[in-house]
């Protein structure tokens, strides 16, 4: 069986390394039947990393992010090391951290205007060169200065300047990324970047600087001043910024240049600044995004500000505080990494609002936790909700906001987030100590819990408000839509939830024997007294029959795009009038062809852009996916020979062998991308063997109704009497070899 023979999926996009748009690679980027990008996690990452410009930017950004985290730790410890006394050390440490937040209050909005006004590539290069100089200057000044006040003062000034420059760099980089990759890959790219920036590099930085300090002090020896761990970390940070500047300048020329058009070229910075703020205020999507992100970070800030006092209310020590703090970041990584795989085809606008509601509800759970284990679970869920909201929000900003204002919107969001986070942490940590604590039925009720309750309620309210402003499926029930999306059956506007029916699709090239197997499966399921609806594409409805005569008639002279549109029209009517109503009744729907045929025939065979064909089919079906796809794989020369014996060939059967080869490999690639949903069978085997394998797999969809062996035998006998195997047999080894 050639299930493992499908080659790795490759997205045919001209910006990728593969470069060419071929049928062999085109359809393979799409998963089975979802009509959306639904690759397995590893394959999705590979697909994104094939894009040369993004791959280089991600690699150098990861190194620079490690340097930034090292720089954050090293700058603060460096400043505290220059003074003596616990109070002075604490003040120096906190002052350097506070200085990193101040530039956002002053220059944050202006940074967005500059990101949209000037060439983004040159903006990033110049900013990184300046940061290289400033990071390197901190330990150099300390090396040549004997005055601790001058050293700490310059560290604070340099940090302020670095953060000011960073405010210019971030919106330029964030606004440029969506121009490097296809829209369908933006979420995966953001996943990779966020996990690297907030999951991997912080841990590596903390472990690295601790290990470096331990190594340098091995044997009770004191390293020279220039070789202190904090100094080496700052040098590394400086060099990482130099590397970033060189890679962006010489290796990522695809980063877009000036974003504004000629009409805006003469506008003043003040006018562009006001335009950006007006855009945020008058655009429901952006307004909802900003409201939700700020609400989420305000709730997170309160959790961080009260965490230490909350740990004490649980009669736990500092270890519990560090555990909760670490669990929060673990949850953040889990939400970013696994969230899309869980919600699957759910609207990202809806996912954003629901993620914030999840985070708020988790804060409420955290507030009433009476045991450390409950608190850990609450912190994990808070992090998951925040991570999913962060990922979906950044993806929506990058994909939905116009390129001409994207820099200003990103700058506005990052500025507001820093301000809200700083205020939430400061106010919550100050207020938490004002109130006392009371014992109610043995449970400690303190101002900490009251603040967490308020934060949870506020986050839930914020999430609901953002959801209402951004909802792109008004009137569609939320929970059924979520459950349907998890099952691969998201709802469209005006549709009722799909019932507990089962959807099975047979796919394959010409002459694969799909009709024979559809009938055999239908008979076997009807024998179990279940309702079965047998259908096909195209032609299952009255409208579909007219379309079928157009797309398959040899006298028709259709362009590839017209053909794809007609198939989508048939599919939309088919799903709306046949498939969904049957599934809602709980019936078993067996279809001869579905979405994969468009991806294979129009995407690979006709070499149309697979993203467009995929989106078109997704829109037509509302994202409805089958529970099982049975792919009957047959070499084109065998299948076409069988089809020729049936009578006159239609338009598709009359295509060249090369066309059908592209179609065959596209089907195999789709199966390789989603093996759990597919059953790939060698269609050159006898019909009885294929039917037995299909019944065995379909039985897994009804574990409570697994057919006895004698019923399988009866179905096989009926099939053998009704239709003998068509065409010559091809040795199994040869078929496997060809598939591989």
Binding site for ATP: residue ranges? 508-515
Separation CA 501–CA 719 (nearest Å): 25
Nearest CA among 282, 258, 196, 232 for reference residue 74: 232
All residues at 6 or more sequence positions from 12 whose CB lies less than 8 Å from its CB, including other chains: 18, 20, 21, 22, 25, 26, 29, 609, 610
Angle at 455 between CA 453 and CA 457, to 5 degrees: 70
Cα 73 from chain centroid (whole Å): 30
Q: In what order do the strands lie in the sheet with 628-633?
A: 532-536, 588-592, 502-508, 628-633, 678-682
Separation CA 181–CA 572 (nearest Å): 29
The answer to whether the beta carbons of residues 606 and 564 sit under 8 Å apart is yes
Separation CA 528–CA 526 (nearest Å): 5
Separation CA 402–CA 409 (nearest Å): 10
Separation CA 24–CA 600 (nearest Å): 9
**Counting every residue, how long is the chain?**
740
Q: Using alpha carbons only, how large is the chain's radius of gyration in Å? A: 30
Looking up tokens 């090239």 gives 509
Separation CA 232–CA 136 (nearest Å): 10
* Kind plus residue range of the DSSP H or E element containing 153: helix 148-176
The answer to whether the beta carbons of residues 393 and 339 sit under 8 Å apart is no
Point out the annotated binding site: 508-515
Report the Cα–Cα distance between both ends of the chain, in Å, rounded: 10
Cα 505 from chain centroid (whole Å): 27
């Amino acid at each position: 069986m050639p299930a493992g023979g499908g080659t790795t999926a490759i997205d045919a996009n001209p910006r990728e390394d593969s470069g060419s748009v071929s049928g062999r690679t085109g359809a393979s980027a799409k998963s089975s039947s979802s009509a959306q990008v639904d690759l397995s996690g590893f394959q999705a990452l590979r697909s994104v990393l094939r894009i040369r410009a993004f791959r280089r930017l991600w690699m150098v950004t990861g190194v620079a992010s490690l340097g930034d985290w090292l720089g954050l730790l090293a700058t603060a410890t460096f400043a505290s090391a220059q003074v003596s006394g616990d109070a002075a050390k604490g003040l120096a440490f906190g002052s350097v951290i506070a200085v990193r937040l101040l530039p956002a209050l002053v220059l944050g909005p202006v940074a967005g205007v500059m990101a949209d006004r000037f060439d983004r590539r040159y903006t990033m290069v110049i900013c990184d060169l300046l940061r290289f100089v400033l990071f390197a200057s901190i330990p150099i000044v300390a090396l040549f200065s004997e005055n601790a006040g001058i050293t700490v003062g310059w560290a604070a000034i340099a940090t302020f300047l670095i953060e000011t420059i960073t405010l210019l760099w971030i919106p330029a980089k964030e606004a440029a990324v969506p121009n490097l990759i296809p829209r369908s890959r933006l979420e995966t790219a953001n996943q990779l970047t966020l996990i690297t920036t907030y999951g991997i590099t912080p841990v590596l930085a903390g472990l690295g600087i601790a290990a470096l300090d331990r190594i340098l002090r091995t044997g009770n020896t004191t390293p020279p001043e220039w070789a202190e761990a904090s100094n080496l970390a700052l040098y590394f940070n400086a060099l990482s910024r130099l590397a970033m500047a060189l890679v962006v300048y010489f290796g990522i020329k695809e980063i877009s240049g000036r974003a504004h058009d000629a009409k805006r070229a003469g506008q003043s910075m003040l006018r562009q600044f006001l335009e950006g703020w007006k855009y945020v205020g008058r655009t429901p999507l952006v307004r909802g995004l900003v409201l939700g992100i700020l609400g989420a970070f305000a709730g997170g800030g309160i959790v961080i500000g009260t965490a230490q006092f909350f740990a004490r209310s649980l009669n736990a020590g500092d270890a519990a505080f560090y555990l909760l703090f670490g669990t929060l970041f673990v949850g953040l990584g889990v939400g970013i990494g696994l969230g899309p795989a869980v919600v699957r085809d759910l609207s990202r606008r809806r996912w954003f609002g629901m993620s914030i509601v999840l985070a708020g509800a988790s804060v409420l759970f955290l507030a009433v936790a009476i045991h450390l284990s409950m608190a850990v679970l609450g912190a994990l869920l808070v992090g998951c909700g925040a991570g999913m909201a962060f990922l979906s929000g950044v993806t929506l900003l990058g994909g939905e906001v116009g390129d001409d204002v994207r820099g200003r919107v990103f700058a506005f969001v990052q500025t507001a987030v820093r301000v809200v986070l700083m205020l939430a942490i400061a106010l919550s940590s100050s207020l938490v100590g004002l109130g006392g604590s009371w014992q109610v039925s043995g449970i400690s009720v303190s101002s900490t819990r009251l603040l967490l309750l308020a934060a949870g309620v506020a986050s839930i309210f914020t999430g609901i408000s953002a959801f209402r402003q951004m909802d792109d499926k008004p009137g569609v029930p939320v929970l059924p839509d979520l459950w349907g999306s998890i099952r691969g059956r998201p709802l469209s506007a005006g549709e009722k939830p799909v019932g507990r029916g089962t959807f099975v699709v047979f796919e394959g090239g010409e002459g694969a024997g799909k009709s024979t197997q559809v009938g055999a499966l239908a008979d076997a399921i009807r024998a179990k007294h279940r309702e079965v609806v047998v259908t096909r594409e195209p032609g299952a409805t009255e409208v579909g029959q007219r379309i079928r005569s157009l797309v398959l008639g040899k006298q028709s002279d259709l362009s590839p795009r017209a053909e794809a549109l007609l198939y989508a029209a048939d599919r939309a009517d088919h799903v709306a009038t046949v498939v969904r109503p049957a599934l809602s009744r709980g019936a078993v729907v067996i279809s001869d062809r579905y979405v994969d045929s468009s991806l294979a025939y129009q995407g690979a065979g006709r070499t149309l852009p697979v993203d467009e064909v995929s989106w078109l089919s997704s829109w037509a079906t509302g994202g409805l996916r089958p529970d099982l796809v049975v792919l009957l794989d047959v070499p084109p020369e065998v299948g076409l020979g069988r089809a020729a014996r049936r009578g006159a060939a239609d338009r598709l059967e009359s295509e060249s062998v090369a066309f059908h080869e592209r179609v065959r490999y596209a089907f195999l690639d789709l199966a390789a991308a989603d093996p759990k949903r597919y059953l790939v069978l060698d269609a050159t085997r006898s019909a009885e063997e294929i039917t037995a394998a299909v019944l065995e797999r379909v039985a897994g969809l009804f574990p409570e109704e697994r057919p006895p062996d004698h019923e399988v035998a009866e179905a096989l006998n009926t099939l053998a009497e009704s239709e003998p195997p068509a065409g010559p047999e091809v040795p199994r080894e040869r078929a496997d070899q060809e598939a591989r």
